[in-house]
Structure 1
C-alpha cells in the first residue's frame, strides 16, 4: 500500500502545470515554458527593460517587436530543453517564445 501511495505522489510531481496551458504549440507548450519573476513558480527573474526591448538575466537581448503578448499580465519565457540555461526558443518566421505584458486596448 505504501508503494502505491509513493508512486501516485511521484506521478503528481511529474504532471504538467496546467496553470500556463495557453503557451502555443510552436513554443513547446508547457514543457519548456515558465513565468518569469521572483515568485515560486518562476525559474528566472523578470527581464530588464532596455531601449528597443528586454535584456534577460543571461545577457540575451530580445527586441520588443519579437515578443508575443502575455495572456496573464506576467513575463514568460520558453527555453530549449526546458533548461534555465537553454536558448530562447525561436520558431522560424514567428516571434520568439518570449511573452510580455502588453496593453489590450
Structure 2
C-alpha cells in the first residue's frame, strides 16, 4: 500500500493579493497603483475588499478614489523606482506590456 504524499499548502494568488494590500493598508505608506490602461495613481490604500481598492491622498480624504482590482496591474511603494526605465522618461510615461488577446473563432 502506497503512502499518500502530503504537500505543503501554497497560498493562492487571491490570498497573496489580499495579504499584499493588507500590508499597504496597515502601514499607511504612500503607494503607486499602475492601471492596465497606463494610468498611475498615487495615494494611500485606505481599504480593500474582494473587488475594489479605496485609494486616498490623505488618511482623512473626503473624496477617495475607488479602483477596481480588475484594472490594477501593479502596486508599488512610492519610493521604489520602476526598474529599467530612465528616471527622466519615467516621470512622463511608463510603457506597460499589454498581452494580445486570443481571437475567438
The two structures have a TM-score, normalised by structure 2, of 0.26
Larger Rg, first or second structure (1 or 2):
2
More strand by share: 2
Q: TM-score, normalised by structure 1?
A: 0.26
